[in-house]
């Protein structure tokens, strides 16, 4: 009796299609997340600028916001890979 490998190839094909759809969905989510992160930090940075003043606390807040933005964006970049 000759083994039927068609079932194995069908399963592999289905898994490939599912993996591709999952990757496409992940890519869309990552792209959306990147966009929202950029918008959020832009709004916060603009609000900090509106507060005005040259206080040390505001400068430190701006620096920390920039650091957080870069940290989060790096994390999202890792998800892409």
Please report, rounded to a whole number, the percentage of residues in the chain having pLDDT higher than 90: 7
SS3 category, 2: coil
Res. 9: pLDDT tops 80: no
pTM, rounded to two decimals: 0.63
Res. 5: pLDDT tops 80: no
Other beta carbons less than 10 A from residue 68's beta carbon: 13
Q: What local confidence, expressed as pLDDT, does residue 3 receive?
A: 58
Domain-by-domain residue ranges, the chain? 30-81
Closest CA to 62 of 75, 51, 72, 76: 51
Check: CB of residue 65 under 8 Å from CB of residue 48: yes
């Amino acid at each position: 009796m000759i083994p039927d490998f068609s079932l194995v190839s069908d399963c592999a094909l289905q898994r490939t299609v599912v993996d591709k759809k999952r990757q496409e969905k992940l890519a869309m989510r990552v792209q959306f997340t990147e966009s929202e992160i950029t918008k959020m930090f832009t709004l916060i940075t603009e609000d900090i600028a509106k507060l005005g003043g040259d206080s040390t606390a505001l400068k430190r807040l701006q620096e920390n916001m920039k650091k957080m933005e870069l940290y989060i964006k790096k994390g999202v970049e890792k998800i892409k890979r």
